Structure 1
Amino acid sequence: MLIPRFHPLSQLYRAAVFAAAAALSLAANAAEPIKVKFSLDWRFEGPCAPFLMAQAKGYFRDEGLDVTIDSGNGSSGAVTRVATGAYDMAFADFNSLVEQESQHPGMGIKGVYMLYNSTPAAIFVLKSSGITKPEQLRGKTLAAPVFEASRKSWPALAQKAGINKDDVTWQTVDSTVSANMLVRRNVDGIANFFFTGLLNLEARGLKESDLVIFPYADYGVNLYGNTVIASKNMLDNHPEAVKGFLRALNRALKETLADPEAAVQFVKQKDQLINVALETRRLKLVIDKLVITPESRRLGLGDVDPARMQQSITTLVDAFGLKNAPDSATLFTREMLPASAERTLP
């Protein structure tokens, strides 16, 4: 028997159909992953293995995220990418964030997971130069990319060495070119992260014994290193996505710490041309010097000591001659971190 169009049963049927369709639509929307555009600070090298692992093994997807990971051209550039809205999150030197926030207050970008517990910034010179102390760099020529974090934070080392930040001359070149220039003695030194500069120079025939290295951290520059940063939009409107990103990263990081050799294979998947042995060594240097530290053992992976952070900000503001001194709470939040138990080192 046909039911008239306006019969109550017919209306109930149509309502049920519409309700079911709406429910399916909501379910589909709920299942739609949140897109996150992420920038590294540099090329696809060993230290970025945890990010690439989290992507390749589906850890981001498990958190409802669709993450795109792009290489970078330096920490300052990575901060700028997030500041302009071109990227949602990035991996960048915390000190570059301090500088940019001081110059442009109110960006709203914050560090959310401190991966490098100490700065990897360093200056490299040839032992044959006779330079044995940072203060002997006065009047010398150094080479580095303009966005290189070691170059950006040079004023902090200069201050500790008792010289003016303008007492050196900078040549702006790519990091691979700067290594060649030092080998050829076209410059007196280069600025680079220690794990990048050392391996670049070794690849060009130098031995560590041929070099004098000035790691900033060894000369009283007690700065934090690289952190994951998130835009104001992500923190305000998608905090659960940020938390999910960090849970996925933390999961991959712990696997990376347990087996660096396996982790580097995810970098190899991204760039078939890498030297696996070299990138494995680079990753191990980062783990041993920057990730596993007394502080990270005490606080857990990703966390910071607020008092130390504020002191590092003060150091940078003084060294750079910046007008504004951002508060640590403006630049880093611990609210996005995974649970403490998940971040504990064995």
Structure 2
Amino acid sequence: MRRITRLPAALLAVLLTAALSTACGSDDDGKGASSSGGSSPDKVTYITGFGTFGREAYAYVAQDKGYFRDAGVSVTIQPGQGSAISLAALAGGRAQFAPVDLSSTIMQVGSGKVSGVTAVAAVHQTTDAAVMALADSGISKPADLEGKKIADPAGSVIGALFPAYAKLAGFDADKVDFVNLEPQQLGVNLATGKVDAVGQYRVGRPNIENAVKGKEVVVLPFGTFLTESYGSAVTTTTKIAEEDPDLVRRFTSALFKGMRYAIDHPEEAAAVLAKKHPTVNEKAAAAEIELVGEAVQPKKDGAPIGTMDRERVAGAIKALVDAGAVKSGLTPEQLVSFDLVPKS
């Protein structure tokens, strides 16, 4: 895989710090006492998975509806810039919670680039990573990506996962060019033919379809080959998980209450998001939220939103080891605090 442009890690950290300090929302409005017996609420920073797309609306709903406040947590929500940067923010103490793609966590922890982080609940029950192209591009299967140019944001898990995906799908990642673009630029560059395909979460398809104005979009989901992988998982630090498990449970419970409300009321959730971020396309955001509703449903009947299975995590690790994306030796317990995962 040839990466045409890639911002240096140090610059990414600077950009993250600047973005987090200027684009955020907080429910720390001094409204009364929390449900934790009248004491001051715990203040935390939550980074979204990526930007302010419809898929992120559930956190803003939890804030708007007072679910965080009722749980005794005051949450500042800040738009994220991808899994790798979110992991660095967690490890560096700049945030306490973030939805991070579990495959990214496996690769980052397995390579020793990040430590001191742990997943506590699954957001997406299967990996949501995908590549999207226009139907008239000649791309209909993974091997068609050879010789093509793919746009993907810097720090995105899709670019990080791509070599493993290519190996499992049976094509040469080194014959694909990657270019870094901001998330908002992906659809426009695809529509104008400046790139052949874009990295995008499956639930982000409505935004791409909106940008290409009705043209048919082909989706190549990584989950076809990474069958055991989870998608995003609520991630925190091991220190918080070990020293304040009650905070983790209260935060996660309130966050998923917002998720359930958003899924049941996608238009209202999109409006809540647009109120915080006026540039949001409400129609596309609502369509994304409906797709999120499918992505969060557990595979096992009766299991709650957020559930995670040790055997599946072990299978996800093995798939990345077999693909050469990470060395062997990593265990599920090094990645997930299973005692904090939602249970029936």
Give 1:278 deviation, angstroms: 1.5
- What CA distance in whole angstroms lies between the structure 2 residues aligned with 1:71 and 1:99? 23
Q: 2:219 aligns with which of 213, 224, 232?
A: 213
Mapping for residues 39-54 of structure 1, pairs under 5 Å: 39-54=47-62
Is the partner of 2:43 in helix, strand or coil? Answer: strand
Q: 1:292 aligns with which of 276, 292, 297?
A: 297
Alignment partner of 1:127 is 2:132:
no
Kindly provide the amino acid, as one letter, of the partner of residue 256 in structure 1. A
- What CA distance in whole angstroms lies between the structure 2 residues aligned with 1:125 and 1:244? 40
Question: Match for residue 287 of structure 2?
Answer: 281
Alignment partner of 1:204 is 2:211:
yes
Give 1:111 deviation, angstroms: 0.7
Q: 1:243 aligns with which of 234, 242, 249?
A: 249
Question: Match for residue 88 of structure 1?
Answer: 96
Mapping for residues 32-111 of structure 1, pairs under 5 Å: 32-104=40-112, 107-111=115-119
- What CA distance in whole angstroms lies between the structure 1 residues aligned with 2:335 and 2:227? 19
Mapping for residues 241-320 of structure 1, pairs under 5 Å: 241-288=247-294, 290-295=295-300, 297-320=301-324
Point out the more displaced range, 330-339 or 111-120.
330-339
Give the percent of matched residue pairs that are identical in Structure 1 and Structure 2: 27
- What CA distance in whole angstroms lies between the structure 2 residues aligned with 1:50 and 1:106? 27
Point out the more displaced range, 223-232 or 260-269.
260-269
Question: Match for residue 343 of structure 1?
Answer: none
Question: Match for residue 10 of structure 1?
Answer: none
Give 1:320 deviation, angstroms: 4.4
Give 1:279 deviation, angstroms: 0.6
Give 1:42 deviation, angstroms: 1.3
User: Quick check: 1:148–1:192 contact (8 Å CA) kept in 2?
Assistant: no
User: Quick check: 1:113–1:337 contact (8 Å CA) kept in 2?
Assistant: yes
Going from structure 1 to structure 2, the CA distance change for 1:265 and 1:181 (only over 3 Å counts) comes to closer
Is the partner of 2:254 in helix, strand or coil? Answer: helix
User: Quick check: 1:246–1:337 contact (8 Å CA) kept in 2?
Assistant: no
Alignment partner of 1:146 is 2:146:
no
Give 1:338 deviation, angstroms: 4.4
Is the partner of 1:299 in helix, strand or coil? Answer: coil
Going from structure 1 to structure 2, the CA distance change for 1:147 and 1:50 (only over 3 Å counts) comes to same
Larger Rg: 1
Kindly provide the amino acid, as one letter, of the partner of residue 208 in structure 2. L
- What CA distance in whole angstroms lies between the structure 2 residues aligned with 1:233 and 1:293? 28
| TM-score using structure 1 length | 0.82
Kindly provide the amino acid, as one letter, of the partner of residue 176 in structure 2. V
Kindly provide the amino acid, as one letter, of the partner of residue 299 in structure 1. A
Question: Root-mean-square deviation (CA), in Å?
Answer: 2.2
- What CA distance in whole angstroms lies between the structure 2 residues aligned with 1:189 and 1:72? 22
User: Quick check: 1:90–1:230 contact (8 Å CA) kept in 2?
Assistant: yes
- What CA distance in whole angstroms lies between the structure 1 residues aligned with 2:325 and 2:279? 42
**5+ long unaligned stretches in structure 1:** 1-27, 341-346
Q: Report the number of matched residues.
A: 309
Deviations 1:198-220 (A, max 9, x none): 333322334353x3221112345
Point out the more displaced range, 325-334 or 111-120.
325-334
- What CA distance in whole angstroms lies between the structure 2 residues aligned with 1:339 and 1:216? 27
